[in-house]
Amino acid sequence: MLYVVTGAAGFIGSKLIEALNRAGVTEIIAVDNLESAAKVGNLAGCEIEDYLDKRDFLERLVANQFDEEIEAVLHQGACSDTMESNGRYVMENNYRYSRVLLDWCQDEAVPFLYASSASVYGAGREFREERACERPLNAYAYSKFLFDQNVRRRLPARSAQIAGLRYFNVYGPNEAHKGRMASVAFHAFNQFMSEGRVRLFVGSDGYADGEQRRDFIHVENVVNVNLHFLEHREISGIFNCGTGRAQSFNDVARAVVNGVRAGRGEAELSLADMVAEGLVEYIPLPPQLVGKYQSFTEADLALLRNAGYGDDFMPVEQGVGTYVAHLLGEQR
């Protein structure tokens, strides 16, 4: 039996394949679009059964050429650029693609795990998996929101598991190809290595400089949540996938700078020391983000915990520190 991972060469998709490999699973169809080959290296260390271009995969799926071969679909493929202005492109890649896969999985009674997003909450201050909390601010967020709405309508009559995970701010190895959409931790590391400083936004929405807060989650924690649902196919629904603890961008910057300093054998610094020495500085919010910026996110984990997921999540100090050590190792 085959596992399908879409977005397989991407950030979370490739880490899911690594985890399946560690569990002894290699019968995997890796689905992606490699017109831009920057991410192909993410698959180099993975064991898979086959690779299919997204278009070829969809053609074979619609033509019913898999004949009960598929054990489960882990759908991570999407346009993840929250600043993408071509709404038609976003909806085709994020909403319509997901609908085709869901329809097929329900017709064939195949478990379907998919990537949703905390962006559906917009600028709200409540992060529960409820319609009243959802206020998407851009085409990317709306595409994820609309698919979640479709899933909600289909859950009562489902033929197999449907589980959507609303990822909060994910960081960790295998994200370099994402460019401007890579994590704050990734960009902070590269800024510090190239310029000797980390730039954060000045205060906004009532927060002091760099004190805007997000729920930052390490990719390994995200993978573990996915595997929990893969192992418990009796559980369906839409669930937040974050740590449940908002931490500031200053916390991320401090973890990055001190992680690099530790790698150099240098002493740890406080945030105040970093600012005083020019290692952290604050810049204005870009005009294109005004009114579209989430200054605060924090996953409500009640539904996830009720679904039986009891593992702890890495705080920024641990997770970013581990990530920085990894990035330093890649440069050696």
Report the 10 Å Cβ neighbour count for 234: 6
Q: Is 171 a catalytic residue?
A: no
| 3-class secondary-structure state, position 172 | coil
Tell me which CATH code domain 2-171+217-244+298-313 carries.
3.40.50.720
pLDDT in tens, 260-315: 999 999 999 999 999 999 999 999 988 877 766 778 999 999 999 999 999 999 99
Residue 241 CA to its chain's centroid (Å): 9
Q: Do domains 2-171+217-244+298-313 and 178-213+247-295+319-331 have the same CATH topology?
A: no
pLDDT given for residue 70 in this prediction: 95
Q: Exactly one of 51, 89, 178, 207 is catalytic; which is it?
A: 178
Q: Which of 234, 212, 216, 218 is nearest to 289 (CA)?
A: 212
Fold of 178-213+247-295+319-331: UDP-galactose 4-epimerase; domain 1 (3.90.25)
pLDDT given for residue 267 in this prediction: 97
pLDDT given for residue 85 in this prediction: 67
Extents of the domains making up the chain: 2-171+217-244+298-313, 178-213+247-295+319-331
Q: Exactly one of 3, 97, 114, 140 is catalytic; which is it?
A: 140
Are 56 and 32 in contact by the 8 Å Cβ rule? The answer is no
Return the H-helix or E-strand segment holding 16: helix 11-22
Which positions of the chain have pLDDT values less than 50?
A: none
- Return phi, psi of residue 46, to 5°: -100, 150
pLDDT in tens, 231-275: 999 999 999 999 999 999 999 999 999 999 999 999 999 999 999
Residues in contact with 79: Cβ distance below 8 Å, sequence separation at least 6, in sequence order: 89, 90, 93, 94, 140, 143
Q: Residue 152 and residue 327: Cα distance in Å, rounded?
A: 39
Q: Is 140 a catalytic residue?
A: yes
